[in-house]
Chains A and B, each alone.
Chain A
Amino acid sequence: MTASTFRRALGLLSLCLLVLGMPTAASAQDYEVPTVTDTYALENARVVQAPGQVLESATVVVRDGLIDAVGRDVEVPYDARRIEADSLVVYAGFLDGLSHAGVKMPENEGDNGDDVDPGDPPFDEAGIQPDRSVRPFLSPEDSDLESLRKAGFTAGHVVPEGQMLPGSSAHILYGGETANDMMLDAAPALFAQIKTASGYVYPATDMAVIAKFRQLFREADRRQTLAAQYEQDPTGTRRPPQDPVHSSLFPVLDGETPLAFYADGALPLHRVLTLKQELGFPLMLAGLAESHNTVEALQNVDAPLFLTLNLPEAPERSADQDTTVADTTDAPSRYYDPDLRTPSSEAVAEEETNLELRHAMEQEKYLATAATLHDAGLQFGFTTREATPGDIRDHLRTMIDQGLPEQTALAALTTRPASLLGLDTRLGTVEEGKIANLVVTDGSYFSEDTKVQHVFVDGQLYDYSTDASEEGDVSGDVSKVTGTWAYTLETPRGERSGTLALEGDPSGLEGTLTNSQGTESELQSVSFDGTTLSFTLQPERGPSLSVSVKVDGDTFEGTVSTPGPSLTITGERTSGPDGSLR
């Protein structure tokens, strides 16, 4: 059911092959020469190869999933799709230090019914699953991938969801048609959290989670010793105990695999650091929202850090305001009185104002956390785990306003996570030979007006240059587009055709798209400015598709942005607004 609605919505595209009953993924045997190129040339762009390392009017050639060439005198290959990038900026694709993007966990897991002794639940119910991998849960359809890509993220370190030890992580590309396409590295780390079991079973408190970490580590240490002894001389020795939970901790005990902890608050951060000090495991730390309160402790620890791209919302009041207070929240520390002593209950309004200022000051500390870490000499990347993708650029701007240097922000999105994750030979800069993960913008990424125009993941183009505004602005002569059009879509497996019907007036346009199977889809957010027509198609499930074409008389040409590669679409008008045949 869900699959069929998905297909219907995507019927327009290469994925419509499903509807035609043809295989979706090309297998080795029936590989055909694709009709569209996978070679691109971004010409005359400003190329930020790495923070502080800029090439003006340079060309970047993307070929076969890799950055083929970068420079001013680069020869553009014969088959390249040329993208005029005179006014564009090319950055290395951003890297996400820890997230659940592209991960879909099964529902109702770890539910063993009512037979569980709350004091001694099985490992999965206790949230102890280090033997599990995120790999089987990777899902290219996860809409987070699309929204993070639009913000510039092209790869990341993803972890399974769960409780104290949810499983091993993976480095993945934030694009591709299958989970296999997305994989970079398996099991670079074990994900860990100070998080209680999901039901009311042991460990039901943070202190029990901490005790359980000690128990697991020390017992794993014993078992590893026994296993080594047994391997040397099994005769006459009792077989060592076997279970995948303890043995999956062996690489951590050996110092080869880090525990990647997520912790935002100062207390959980301290608890993780204390645990590391006690048990001596290699650590990776993500979250850090309140790390402005733990700077000294972090300076003494050797661990890759990934700061959350989430920032707190403004606080609420517990009771209605019964007094009018001047808005002093822009510079709360100028008005806050740390020594205020309210003399009597009659002066409570004064105290309330002071409390609100204190809240505003605390808020500012969080906004300045990135700057605080930077000033303390701590190097960090970012994690998108708790961030709303659409807010990420706003939050980065806020961090920069609060004192984080722009180059450091860019480094924290590119080069630093690349080296912290051990991906720096493949990702993080715009250099020949690296994986073709690129972010192409129409200005500095950190400027408010800048838009992300294109994103490349693994050499695949995701085109956002044609994204319509959500409302659908209509201006110009609508009779240029109203009527019926026959369209042709170039897909990797050949051409697909169908019809497009548009009607309306300057107050708004609406329309229907009918594919070759006769399946109809409503157009949404239809915009027209006299030359460019754009609209989106929203499948019932999955990410939306953006279509943008330039109308020239009775023909149009443009692109369709999909979760996969962007496709070229052309069209010809078959009847005018009055229904007249052409």
Chain B
Amino acid sequence: MRVRLSLLLLAAALWTVASAPAQDQLRADAPDDWLIQDATVLTVTNGTIENGDILVRDGDIARVGQDLSAPGGVEVYDASGEYVMPGIIEAHQHMAISNVNEATNQVTAEVGVGDVLDPYDIGIYRALAGGVTTAHVMHGSANPIGGRNETIKLRYGVTTPSALKMEDAPRTVKFALGENPTGLYGQGRDQVPRTRMGVEQVIRTAFTKAQRYMDAKEAYENGERAQPPAHSERMEVLAGVLRGDILVQTHGYRADEMLMLMEVFEDYGIQDLVFHHVNEGFKIAPELAAFGDNGAGATVFSDWWSYKFEVYYSTAYNAAVLTENGVNTSINTDIPGEQRDLFLQAAKTQRYGDLSDTQALRLITINPARQLGIADQVGSIEEGKDADLALFSEHPLSVYTKPQRTYVDGVVRFDHEQDPDDMRLRVDPEGTVDLARDGWSRHAAHSCLKGVTKLRATHHGVFLENAGR
């Protein structure tokens, strides 16, 4: 009987908890049935439709074509002169969460940012204002094996944290290679890993323990073992990685350490792997494409480097080189507040690498969707997919373009016609009154490295720097 209960408890853990009906402070009664008319529809997967219409029913794309008519009760939006693309997906973000790094232990797979979602974060609205509809919000890169990430829909207005979660998105977990873990644990605390070899060892040890944990549980269930092993939330997640249920998303810059991890994963039979940042990806693009059955993914910055010693060998042609070599590639910004111009980040690949419009748009739509395992729901304008749509005044890859409207699940979550100054969902009653002229600092917002000691190279030399908690 008791054993049953334990298994139930576990089952409950794997279940996305369906909590009370979500409160929506902004769009509780907003329609999710629309006819968007006469736009240039950039489907990304099926070419471009001039004077195209999109019919949205119950938050899904019902039809895509020309000269569609609006059934009764469906609102019509005249998008003539405008461009519609699939809602932008960012594969690497740290907004809308209360914590980033549990930087106390080399392996913290049991923690998850999905447990600390913050639907009040104004960053969600700012991202919507740049056409972003889905974000992969991630644990930080302090630990070789960090915590679980969460794929969220930018339903700004809902205040029930779990209502941000994208239903049915596969679970993912953060790994990190290189200077962040070696700096924090090795240099900072004189613990393993002090070197890249140590990072590999931490990961191999964790996988080996998880394998033994799985074996012991299986033996218990088969009656070959009298007692179940001591329960471990950490091992449960790592066992999920070994089984292929949980997708690994790995922070890494250098070619050698990415090759190392691919070897480790091959040893343990793990097929899904997406590298994040990948500044030296251009050196090993064929190897990345050849990994496992489907290749390893790469999500990169458009043109940002030299902020750490390991990030000097970089090029703005990285995304184009990876793409042309068959690597499933996406572009991310990492930084809350900077994801508003992802469409322009994608456009840079046309200047640096001559990618086509579709290739460039794929970098921020269907490609990240595939990396996150959600390409059957989002990432392109196709019938049956979620009505996540970004409307622009000009072609989204034009420097003159302006986001007009952003739909998430058919609900207008951003409309530049109705974009008042104060879009906060709540205000700290005792906090200071934040004034517009207070300003914003890029350095302060760079939360990916929070709690991490890093090497910082400047003209005056290389310094150890603690980025604070």
Contact = CB atoms under 8 A, between A and B. Distances in A.
A520 interface: no
B102 A266 contact: no
B116 A271 contact: yes
B435 A355 contact: yes
Contact of A316 (B12, B120, B433): B433
Contacts of A241: 230
Given A118-B189, A296-B23, A340-B422, A218 B111 contact: no
Given A210-B116, A267-B118, A312-B429, A219 B231 contact: yes
Q: How large is the interface on A (under 10, 10 to 19, 20 to 34, 35 or more residues)?
A: 35 or more
B99 A205 contact: yes
Contact of A218 (B3, B231, B418, B426): B231
A300 B115 CA distance: 20
Nearest to A366: B429
A314 B429 CA distance: 7
Interface stretch (B38-46, B159-167, B321-329, B403-411): B159-167
B5 A221 contact: yes
A201 B451 CA distance: 12
A218 B105 contact: no
B418 to A, nearest CB: 8
Contacts, number: 201
A136 interface: no
Contacts of B444: none
A317 B432 contact: yes
Interface string B415-433: 0001111101011111111
A358 B98 CA distance: 23
Contacts of A267: 98, 116, 118, 120, 161
Contacts of A358: 422, 424, 427
B104 interface: yes
A486 interface: no
A363 B429 contact: yes
A342 B422 CA distance: 10
Given A120-B105, A341-B421, A222 B434 contact: no
A297 B160 CA distance: 8
A365 B25 CA distance: 14
A262 interface: no
B116 A225 contact: no
Contacts of A2: none
A207 B101 CA distance: 9
A319 B118 contact: no
Nearest to B159: A293
Interface in A258-283: 266-267, 270-271, 273-274, 277-280
Q: Looking at chain A's contact residues, is the secondary structure mostly helix, strand, loop, or mixed? A: helix
Contacts of A473: none
Contacts of B432: 315-318
Given A207-B112, A217-B9, A225-B3, A312 B427 contact: no
B226 A237 contact: yes
A256 B33 CA distance: 49
Interface stretch (B13-21, B241-249, B254-262, B452-460): B13-21
Contact of A274 (B6, B10, B162): B162
A317 B430 CA distance: 10
A356 B434 CA distance: 9
Query: Mostly helix, strand, loop or mixed at chain B's interface?
Result: loop
Contacts of A296: 20-21, 23, 160
A208 interface: yes
Contacts of B21: 296
B438 interface: yes
Contact of B435 (A203, A301, A352, A366): A352
A207 B421 contact: no
Contacts of B111: 205, 207-208, 210-211
A342 B3 CA distance: 62
B104 A340 contact: no
B311 to A, nearest CB: 26
A202 interface: yes
B355 interface: no
A54 B44 CA distance: 75
A118 B12 CA distance: 30
Interface in B1-56: 2-3, 5-6, 9-10, 12-13, 17, 19-21, 23
A397 B157 CA distance: 33
Interface in A312-337: 312-319
Interface of A: 118-120, 200-208, 210-211, 214-215, 217-219, 221-222, 224-226, 228-229, 237-238, 241, 266-267, 270-271, 273-274, 277-280, 290, 293-294, 296-297, 299-301, 312-319, 338-342, 348, 351-352, 354-356, 358-359, 362-363, 365-366
Which 4 interchain pairs have the tightest Cβ spacing? Answer: A119-B105, A225-B2, A205-B99, A312-B429
Given A225-B3, A267-B118, 9 more contacts: A207-B112, A207-B147, A228-B2, A277-B19, A297-B23, A314-B430, A319-B438, A339-B420, A340-B420
